[in-house]
Amino acid sequence: MDSHDNVADSEKIGELQSKVVLGCSLYNMEEMVRIKPNGESCYILSGSEPFNEEMEIDYEKLLNWLRHYGLPQYHIHVSGHIMPLELRDVIKEISPKKLFPIHTEDPDLFSRFCNSLELDVITPSKGENYRWV
């Protein structure tokens, strides 16, 4: 398999936009020109409010991009932390076929913790390719 099979460019994301979640920041918002967001898209801002002048300027740039494409914005601030049993409940509710733990200190422990769920926990390895669709 070609290593580029797992990479979707902006045009491909544009075609798949009702089926994917795209993580981006202000620094790669110019890709919106190629993606051409439609009415099925929205922007979820998961961060704190701007608290200095530079952040306020960047936030205003973001809002301008969103206005330009008519994208509604949902501001949801999260700490990034969850209690283990709540995390397992969320995973169970989502019911993924595969789970890639990428933000954990002990992926093997996490895999055993999810053992009761019917899913394939895959510990990613650097340089490996994985199918995401």
**Mean pLDDT within 62-81:** 83
Confidence of residue 80 (pLDDT cuts 50, 70, 90): low
Instruction: Give the residue from 39, 11, 33, 21 showing the smallest Cα distance to 132.
Output: 21
Q: Which two tokens stand for residue 56?
A: 């306020």
Residue 74, beta-bridge partner list: 44
User: 88 or 24, which is more confident?
Assistant: 88
Instruction: Give the residue from 22, 36, 29 showing the smallest Cα distance to 61.
Output: 29
Task: Tell me the C-alpha distance between 103 and 14, whole Å.
Answer: 28
**Mean pLDDT within 49-77:** 87
Q: Do 18 and 40 form a contact (C-beta atoms < 8 A)?
A: yes
